[in-house]
Amino acid sequence: MQKQLQEYTNYLAVEKGLSKNTLESYRRDLNKFIAFLNKREVVNPEKVDREDINFFLAELKANKSATSTISRTIASIRSFFNFLMEEGFIESNPALNLESPKIEKKLPRVLTTSEIDRLLGQPRPGDHKGLRDKAMLELLYASGIRVSELIDLNLSDFDPRVGYLRCRGKGQKERIVPIGSVAINSVNEYMSKARSRLCKNNGETALFVNQHGNRMTRQGFWKILKKYAFKSNIDGEITPHTIRHSFATHLLENGADLRSVQEMLGHSDIATTQVYTQITRKKIREVYDKTHPRA
């Protein structure tokens, strides 16, 4: 079946325009499947039946393959046999109506308010980089924006007089996000005391700049966050999205409505935002179990 697999991957590359990484994933999954079939002495795609596929998937489960891996493998097999059917290599499709297992979504990591305080308290206010880092972290937690949106901010996007931030999300879709006084004060202090010392180019429009005076990069911010996360001595990995998740969860825990949080996060579908209600329900259950005398 290697000949058909090669024709199939050529089809995906030329007709579908799939990326190199995606092609490699399909090829890897199907090579494992073909190797399994060879052990069963099934070398002709016309001879493959539903039982062969089910035994292969059972072997993946027995080897404790992740649900996401099994789901992707099923998609690879299904697509491969659809191609073989369309090209006339087989007369019946053994992968027809092959269903993928449901992937259980993991709840995002959320910091407590005390952990947030520890993290945001790490930058040193006495130097220019510390003022910049403090402003970035405060703004990230105050607004819940993505790290890509943070580094894309321009000077014109921040107006401390109205207490709102303009950012550009996915697809360059603009939204206005409210920010609190603590973040406003931190950004103002950075603007008045540090930015001009860091920025060498008067024409630079970026709100946040690196040590070379250019726009802060995603990688640069990640390094900054990693440093302060280590210093704050908080267990587990902290990413920019951890702060975004914490922002949304803390709002809902304190009475914010889901639609408002959706607008602030820039989610096009409210179902994406609803994951945070699961976190708040879980916390309510924990509080109940700890405090109710008959829990």
* Residues that are catalytic: 146, 170, 241, 244, 267, 276
Residue 281 makes CB contacts below 8 A (sequence gap 6+) with none
Pairwise CA distance, residues 48 & 58, whole Å:
16
Dihedral sign from CA coordinates of 191, 196, 198, 203 = positive
Q: What does the radius of gyration of the chain's CA atoms come to, in whole angstroms?
A: 26
Q: Which two tokens stand for residue 169?
A: 């999300």
Pairwise CA distance, residues 97 & 76, whole Å:
13
Task: Decide: 78 and 29 in contact? Cβ < 8 Å.
Answer: no
Give the DSSP per-residue string, 78-127: HHHHHHHHHTTS-SS-TTTTPPPPPPPPPPPP---HHHHHHHHT-S-TTS
Q: Count Cα atoms within 13 angstroms, Cβ side, for 290.
A: 6
